[in-house]
């Protein structure tokens, strides 16, 4: 069987696909074939992943180098039977670990949510009979029967489609349903344009279909995403990178200092136990025991503040990483736009025909008001997105569909079909039996008797180039005294009167343009990564202030042809990525990361999950799939892009506060080391004991350090350029402060100690 090798099912006729799978199109598979394929391909389920236990999450808190240094100090003090110091050190370790654990514990259930969402039953044809089976029992070659409302159980090639539309947002991110056909599609097309295919996890929105299953389990498009999720390892955050580097520096530096003092003491002939205790005192002094707790508190407070701004941060480290973000890769639908249709422009050859155009739009329409007795502002409109937008536009103009139908009684409706490309509503009017028609502009223009066709075509071109969805409206008085059958009506729908065009768009979310501008002011670049068409994505880009010119726009299939080197060289010019698939989103994230940039990726669908996991910051919409939310680091509870700059601002404040705390605490540690070292050098008694050092580090430094966690941001916090991953945690000015304050404090303390010693 060619199943594994053959992937371009959409480029084959359905007869060829059935032949490859040895499927009888009338009788389906036999029991013997099903049994054989279960052995060959396994069950139609997604890959399993073992999730971390609570204990593993807790152990993860102990991996920080700062905590490891504390653990080392705790072990040494236990060995020396210095129980007071040991209790204080181990208390600091426990407090930090529990703080981190309770803030971070979120089971990563992306794959579990995928599996839960797919527990459905389906109708298949086997042995010449239709039967209902669990979706996990479906095998490649099965004939599956689909109807409106069904969740599609496997990938499949359509054999027959009866006015079928499928909602594929789970994979493409686009909420408009895709019309389905059984015709062959060219080989090199994006997933969203494979109109003769259905995909696991999608939903049949309208019509019915008969398909042959071509992919099950991990061989489906959804399965590929599940495999990607399992394989992708989250990258180290800038905070983790810099803090780990800083902790190692402290460990190595003060470890060497302690060893040199120990060696100096031995060479000077001092007792081993005494000099070892001194070296341990130096090591203990070098570690600001309150620092891990203070840093954890800063991150936790940042998480709490972001929650008030409708941003849920799922792990502590991500709070700081947001402040380092240099690139935002945002989806279009539901993130930048509202995910609904509304009228943007109306055009008619006669300016007086605007109201007439809206009247036809209301009548040739399947949408309806669910609660007409309520006040206008509370009306609930049901129907297809396009029909709803047209009806709402008519109602806002004061046109009542119910009132029009009372005046012009409804005789018949002709539903929209992909083959006809229009829908019509037949009414009794004073002029006679009249058809009001709505459909694709190309179709209605071909049906119309129109002298000014070029004018309309020019306007149509202008509207489509803006990325708008355009519908044409027309009418015709039919040559019938009494109403005939609808198939006779269809024969008469020629030489119709063209009335006008209505352009629809998915409106921008409130505050998006301002948020993009705020991000740009902070040195953050925003790019659009969407499954929608290039023209639509480019139009939205221009509207929000992003370059949407053709030279700045690329489609997924063009991206596939580029090598990594070519893509890297084009990154600075590419602003809009259209018709992209999950694998393309991953490449885009990886390309920016290769340039050393910190990239945040937004998304709401299952298709976004791999890129969300790979990105330095994954940002999921609160209304998105559970898979996206469990994979993301930040969840936008209000679904608004404008939350992202606020989160970045909070992240920058956190970075500043961490630096203030480290500077404050290291100043104390540096002071203690110099004080003890000077005492040893001049042959003086130890001015402070190890217990006193711990008290200073953990209590006297720790409590004021906690106060610094509540510091408000500087005025210029969102006017600075983003910091790269390799920027030092402590810049030179802060190191200078530590040195100068430490030395001056030591001179005062040493002088006071000598005075009291006399």
C-alpha distances in angstroms, 562 versus 190, 203, 328, 441, 566? 16, 33, 22, 36, 6
Half-sphere exposure of 400 (CA within 13 A, CB side): 9
SS3 per-residue string spanning 727-749: CCCCCHHHHHHHHHHHHHHHHHH
At residue 114, the 3 state secondary structure works out as: helix
At which residue do the structure tokens 């059935």 appear?
18
The kind and range of the H/E element at 356 are: helix 354-363
Tokens of 258: 């302690």
The reply to whether 331 belongs to the active site is: yes
Main-chain phi, psi angles of 84, to 5 degrees: -60, -50
User: Under a CB-based contact definition with an 8 Å cutoff, are residues 269 and 233 in contact?
Assistant: no
Q: Which regions of 282-326 does DSSP assign to beta strands (E)?
A: 311-313
Annotated catalytic residue within 82, 85, 142, 331: 331
From 739, 699, 690, select the one nearest 283 (Cα to Cα): 690
CA dist 107 → 80, 113, 170, 228, 358 (Å): 40, 11, 22, 18, 51
Cα gap 500→713, rounded to integer Å: 55
Helix (H, G, I), strand (E, B) or coil at 629: helix
CA 43 to chain centre: 29
Q: How far is CA 463 from CA 369, 440, 530, in A?
A: 29, 13, 21
Please tell me the distance from the alpha carbon of residue 278 to that of residue 22, in angstroms, as a whole number. Answer: 82
**What would the two tokens of residue 228 be?**
């990607």
Q: Which residue has the tokens 């885009």?
A: 588
Distances in whole angstroms, Cα of residue 750 to Cα of each of 233, 667, 741: 52, 16, 14
Give the relative orientation of helices 534-543 and 453-465 as an angle to the nearest 10 degrees. 70
Give the Cα-Cα-Cα angle 519, 541, 537 (nearest 5 degrees).
135
Q: Pairing state of beta strands 327-330 and 525-529?
A: parallel
CA 511 to CA 508: how far, in whole Å?
8
Q: Which helix or strand (DSSP H or E) is residue 125 part of?
A: strand 121-126
Q: Which residue pairs, CB below 8 angstroms and at least 24 apart, start in 28-34?
A: 28/124, 28/125, 28/126, 28/127, 28/128, 28/142, 28/143, 29/126, 29/127, 29/139, 29/141, 29/142, 29/143, 30/126, 30/127, 31/126, 31/127, 33/139, 33/141, 34/126, 34/139, 34/142
Q: CA gyration radius for the chain?
A: 34
Phi and psi, residue 193, nearest 5°? -100, 5
* Two tokens, residue 634: 């930040």
List of E strands, 598-738: 599-603, 617-621, 634-636
- Token digits for 97? 């670990």
Q: Which two tokens stand for residue 622?
A: 């609160």
What are the structure tokens assigned to 435, written together? Answer: 């058809």
Query: Catalytic residue positions?
Result: 331
């Amino acid at each position: 069987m060619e199943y594994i090798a053959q992937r371009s099912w959409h480029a084959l006729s359905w007869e060829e696909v059935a032949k490859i799978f040895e499927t009888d199109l009338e009788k389906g598979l036999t029991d013997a074939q099903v049994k054989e394929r279960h052995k060959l391909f396994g069950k139609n389920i997604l890959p399993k992943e073992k999730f971390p236990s609570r204990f593993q999450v807790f152990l993860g808190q102990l991996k920080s180098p700062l905590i490891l240094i504390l653990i080392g100090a705790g072990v040494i003090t236990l060995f020396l039977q210095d129980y007071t110091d040991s209790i204080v050190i181990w208390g600091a370790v426990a407090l930090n670990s529990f703080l981190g654990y309770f803030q971070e514990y979120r089971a990563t259930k992306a794959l579990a949510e995928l599996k839960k969402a797919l527990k459905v039953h389906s109708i298949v044809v086997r042995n010449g009979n239709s039967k209902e089976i669990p979706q996990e029992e479906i095998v490649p070659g099965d004939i599956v029967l689909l109807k409106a409302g069904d969740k599609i159980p496997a990938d499949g090639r359509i054999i027959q489609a009866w006015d079928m539309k499928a909602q594929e947002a789970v994979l493409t991110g686009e909420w408009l349903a895709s019309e389905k056909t059984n015709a062959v599609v060219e080989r090199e097309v994006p997933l969203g344009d494979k109109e003769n295919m259905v995909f696991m996890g999608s939903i049949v929105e309208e019509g019915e279909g008969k398909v042959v299953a071509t992919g099950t389990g991990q061989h489906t498009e959804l399965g590929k995403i599940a495999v990607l999720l399992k394989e992708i390892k989250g990258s180290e955050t800038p905070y983790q990178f810099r803090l780990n580097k800083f902790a190692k520096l402290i460990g190595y530096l003060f470890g060497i200092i302690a060893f040199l003092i120990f060696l100096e003491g031995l060479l000077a002939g001092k007792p081993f136990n005494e000099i070892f205790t001194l070296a341990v005192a130096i090591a203990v002094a070098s570690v600001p025991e309150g620092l891990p707790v203070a840093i954890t508190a800063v991150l936790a407070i940042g998480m709490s503040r972001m929650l008030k701004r409708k941003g849920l941060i799922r792990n502590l480290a991500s709070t700081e990483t947001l402040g380092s973000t240099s690139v935002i890769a945002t989806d279009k639908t539901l993130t930048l736009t509202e995910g609904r249709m509304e009228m943007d422009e109306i055009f008619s050859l006669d300016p007086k025909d605007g109201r007439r155009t809206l009247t036809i739009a209301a009548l040739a329409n399947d949408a309806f008001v669910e609660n007409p007795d309520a006040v206008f502002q509370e009306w609930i409109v049901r129907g297809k997105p396009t029909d709803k937008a047209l009806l709402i536009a008519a109602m806002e103009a004061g046109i009542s569909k119910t009132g029009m139908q009372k005046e012009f009684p409804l005789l018949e409706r002709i539903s929209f079909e992909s083959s006809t490309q229009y829908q019509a509503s037949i009414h009794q009017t004073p002029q006679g039996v009249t058809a009001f028609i709505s459909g694709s502009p190309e179709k209605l223009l071909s049906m119309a008797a129109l002298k000014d066709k070029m004018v309309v075509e020019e306007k149509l071109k202008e509207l489509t180039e803006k990325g708008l969805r355009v519908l044409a409206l027309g009418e015709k008085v039919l040559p019938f005294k009494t109403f005939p059958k609808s198939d006779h009506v269809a024969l008469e729908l020629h030489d119709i009167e063209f009335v006008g065009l209505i352009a629809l768009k998915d409106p921008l979310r409130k505050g998006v343009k301002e948020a993009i501008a705020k991000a740009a002011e902070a040195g953050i670049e925003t790019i659009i990564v969407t499954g929608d068409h290039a023209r639509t994505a480019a139009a939205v880009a221009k509207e929000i202030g992003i370059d949407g010119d053709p030279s700045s726009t690329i489609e997924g299939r063009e991206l596939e042809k580029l090598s990594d080197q070519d893509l890297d060289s084009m990154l600075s010019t590419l602003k809009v990525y259209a018709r992209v698939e999950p694998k393309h989103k991953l490449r885009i994230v990886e390309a920016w990361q290769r340039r050393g940039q910190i990239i945040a990726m937004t998304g709401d669908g299952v298709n976004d999950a791999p890129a969300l996991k790979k990105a330095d910051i994954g940002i999921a919409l609160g209304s998105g799939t559970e898979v996206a939310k469990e994979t993301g680091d930040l969840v936008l509870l209000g679904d608004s892009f404008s939350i992202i700059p606020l989160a970045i601002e909070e992240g920058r404040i956190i970075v500043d506060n961490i630096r203030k705390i480290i500077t404050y605490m290291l100043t104390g540690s540096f002071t203690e080391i110099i004080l003890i070292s000077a005492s040893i050098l001049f042959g003086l008694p130890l001015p402070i004991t190890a217990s006193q050092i711990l008290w200073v580090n953990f209590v006297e430094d720790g409590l004021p350090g906690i106060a610094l966690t509540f510091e408000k941001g500087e005025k210029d916090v969102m006017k600075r350029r983003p910091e790269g991953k390799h920027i030092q945690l402590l810049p030179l000015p802060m190191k200078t402060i530590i040195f100068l304050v430490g030395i001056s404090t030591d001179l005062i303390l040493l002088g006071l100690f000598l005075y009291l010693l006399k």
